[in-house]
Chains A and B, each alone.
Chain A
């Protein structure tokens, strides 16, 4: 029996009369490298928002490691090991890189509300943040303000903040969006090098990257799941070719 890290059951999200997520039942296996693809506006980000609790579903359920978390607040899901990155950077422009990541680590280890001793006095958090930055080869920028960083580097901070949660399940929403190709390779190497026990759900438009990275792919079209399967199955699925991939993937 396979165990699932993340599941949804009949998930629906309506914005007024518009159905952005249409009866989605998705299963993400523990330890999977699962990709979520679909044309622009298909509802991929909305799905992530529902998974993380950023949005409340209209109906349906979200199940994390076997527990229903549909009505749990975002930060509580994070406490259970569900972390995400955002398609559009949501960073702390005026904090330094080290401060940002330290803040994230603080929250994970539960000292985010300590109000008496200075941030620097909690060496375990600062050290952990620094070593995370070194893994991401960001150490030389540790004391730079986030706003002064190149865009590609900011995308890395986006990931660093999620990794600081030591997630069991990591949701990556187009992590390389807007990053020049040369840098996006490097970025994906970083992601590919994450430990295998971290389950990853990846949204990505670059099919080369998706097919190299994923062991399972789900296709979302107009809010509904069209199909899912291994990269081979998806590549050879005529329906997928028709609605989404077109000729791009006749390799």
Chain B
């Protein structure tokens, strides 16, 4: 006890306080609504992808589980919510809950497959699971609509109050609200002892059992949570577009998501959000020019990030902040 008194515990005790920069960040979606009233569909997509990216960040950025098939959960969630709405259960929140449950179950079950191997095996198993789901959805045309997509969804008003409108206003606020709520939960998670132990696993998986931590149980848990988050993101996409295309399960979606996460900087919740904003905005502006150019520069960007800027946007920001801080410190003296 004596010892604790002499140590300033503030850094660990206040680690989870909301910082002003964070509050400012969350004004962006509000501002965007007023600045780009004609682009609400795009903004909604950004919010949904941000949630999807957040889910990958939890499992990859925090716990270090590599995945080439995260779209499996996104797609399953989309179909779960889509099918419910197409069969008369159109309440959006019900859809979200159902999607979360179904994907959590899949996540929990597959976590045992994924956790068995090393990185390479994990990449292949996650990829394989996603491809299997893709094939199932592709072949079960009478249920999923196959390549034509799932049609006939009827999504009821959110909370029985807010009807989905043509301009996408409701869709936008709905997606933002869900994103924000789940972000807050994720934020709690990463600052908790559980979150700390995930970082421990990522930083040195070999040490964790030696300090008494059941590594696989932790990884299973976070994989399940990540799956549920991805499922909810997929459900949001289905509900806000009233349609589920087969490509919700595609390999490209998983690969692109990895790119977004490393672009933003994995292992930081805001990295996932910033990466999505930067990526989707760039996509929107550049792909109008020519889709092929876009893909080329995307590839080039990925190569450059891996070779030269592994910490992503967040790393850049942090570096900038440090340098700024150092500069200010110097001027003060």
Which residue numbers of A lie inside 8 Å of B, CB to CB? 52-54, 73-75, 78-79, 83-84, 86, 90-96, 98-100, 102-104, 106-108, 111-120, 122, 125-127, 130-131, 133-135, 139, 142-143, 161-162, 164-165
User: Considering the chains assembled together, what is the distance between the CA atoms of A165 and B191 in angstroms?
Assistant: 22
B327: Cβ under 8 A from any A Cβ: no
A113 & B194 in contact (Cβ 8 Å cutoff): yes
Known A98-B12, A139-B3; judge A103-B196 contact (CB<8 A). yes
Segment of B131-139, B167-175, B210-218, B242-250 engaged in the interface with chain A: B210-218
Give which listed residue, B4, B15, B197, contacts A118 with CB less than 8 A: B15
In the docked arrangement, what's the CA distance between A133 and B7, Å?
Answer: 10
Q: Which residues of B contact A (CB under 8 A)?
A: 1-4, 6-7, 9, 11-16, 188-189, 191-197, 199-200, 203-204, 206-215, 217-218, 221
Q: Would you give the shortest CB distance from A171 to chain B, in whole angstroms?
A: 10
Checking B13, B14, B193 against A103 with a beta-carbon cut-off of 8 angstroms, the contacting residue is B193
Which among A75, A92, A133 is the interface contact of B214 at CB below 8 angstroms? Answer: A75
| Interchain CB contact under 8 A, B3 and A130 | yes
A112–B3 alpha-carbon span in the complex (Å): 23
Q: Which of A53, A83, A111, A115 is B189 in contact with, Cβ under 8 Å?
A: A115
B199–A92 touching, CB < 8 Å:
yes
With A92-B203, A95-B200 in contact, do A119 and B209 touch (Cβ < 8 Å)? Answer: no
| CB atoms of B191 and A112 under 8 A apart | no
Residues of chain A with a CB closer than 8 A to B200's CB: 92, 95, 100, 103
List of 6 A-B pairs having minimum Cβ-Cβ separation, nearest first: A134-B3, A74-B209, A120-B13, A78-B212, A131-B3, A115-B194
A108 to B211 CA separation, bound complex (whole angstroms): 7
B188 proximity list for chain A (CB < 8 A): 115-118
For the complex, give the distance between the alpha carbons of A11 and B189 in Å.
43
Complex interface: chain B residues within 8 A of A117 (CB): 188, 192
Q: Are B204 and A118 in contact (CB under 8 A)?
A: no
Closest Cβ of chain A to B222, distance in Å, is 10
Docked Cα-Cα span, A162 to B15, in Å, equals 25
- Cβ of B193: which chain A residues have Cβ within 8 Å of it? 103, 106, 111-115, 119, 122, 125
Minimum C-beta distance from A155 to chain B (A) = 14
CA distance in complex: A106, B16 (Å): 17
> Is the beta-carbon distance between B207 and A90 smaller than 8 angstroms?
yes
Quick check: A112 and B11 within 8 Å, CB to CB? no
Contact of A99 among B3, B12, B217, B221 (CB under 8 A): B12
- Among A103, A120, A126, the residue within 8 A (CB) of B211 is A103
The complex places the Cα of A162 from the Cα of B212 at a distance, in Å, of: 10
Q: Please list 7 pairs of residues, one from A and one from B, whose beta carbons are closer than 8 Å in the complex, sorted by A's number.
A: A91-B207, A96-B11, A98-B7, A111-B193, A116-B192, A134-B3, A134-B6
Are A90's CB and B206's CB within 8 A? yes
**Residue A75 contacts which of B9, B14, B15, B213 (CB distance < 8 angstroms)?**
B213
Cβ of A119: which chain B residues have Cβ within 8 Å of it?
Answer: 12, 15, 191-193, 195-196
Instruction: Decide if B211 touches A161 in the complex (CB within 8 Å).
Output: yes
Which of B16, B194, B195, B206 has its CB near the most chain A CB atoms (within 10 A)?
Answer: B194
What is the chain B residue whose CB lies nearest that of A139? B7
Residues of chain B lying within 8 A (CB to CB) of residue A133 = 3, 7
Q: Is the CB of B197 within 8 A of A113?
A: yes
Tell whether, in the assembled complex, residue B210 and residue A90 are in contact, meaning their CB atoms are under 8 Å apart: yes
Structural contact, B16 and A118, CB atoms closer than 8 A: yes
Q: Which of B189, B195, B210, B218 is A78 in contact with, Cβ under 8 Å?
A: B210
B11 touches A143 (CB 8 A): yes
Within 8 Å CB of A79, what residues of B? 212
With a 10 A CB-CB cut-off, give which of A79, A111, A119 has the most chain B CB atoms: A119
